[in-house]
Amino acid sequence: MVSPTVSASKREKDPKKRIVITGMGLVSVFGSDIDTFYNKLPEGVSGISPIDRFDASEFSVRFAGQIRNFSSKGYIDGKNDRRLDDCWKYCLVAGKMALEDASPRQEVLESTSQRSRIFNDTSMPRFQS
């Protein structure tokens, strides 16, 4: 058996530049359950429907993938839940679900709490999500 001769780039070898995916979390039009989400994909189920969260009559596109029945309970405290935009809530909840899925030891969570960051951006800044 011949081993591959392709070498990882310098960036991939630098431990400061590498990442490891240890857990998954998501908030989607199909809910927040990873198995349900991945089962819907090969079935070809669409999560797109007419927009009903706001009046979209003035827009040329009136269909979207809207997240319904979302609950941040157990992930975001009440004060922040009222203050945060929906997009931020989805991001934070999915991130916390990924941490739970990774099942890190408590001492790992405590030692990385000051180094952990979440970056969030949207393609249309300043719009209510």
DSSP string, 47-86: --EE--SS--TTSS--EE----S---TTTS-HHHHHHS-H
CA atoms within 13 A on the CB side of 78: 0
Name 61's Cβ contacts closer than 8 Å, sequence gap at least 6.
none
Q: What is the rounded distance in angstroms from the CA atom of residue 90 to the CA atom of residue 75?
A: 10
Contact 68, 53 (CB under 8 A): no
69-117 confidence digits (pLDDT tens): 999 999 998 888 999 888 889 988 998 898 888 877 777 666 655 555 5
- Across 4-8, 15-19, 68-72, 95-99, least confident range: 4-8
pLDDT of residue 124: 46
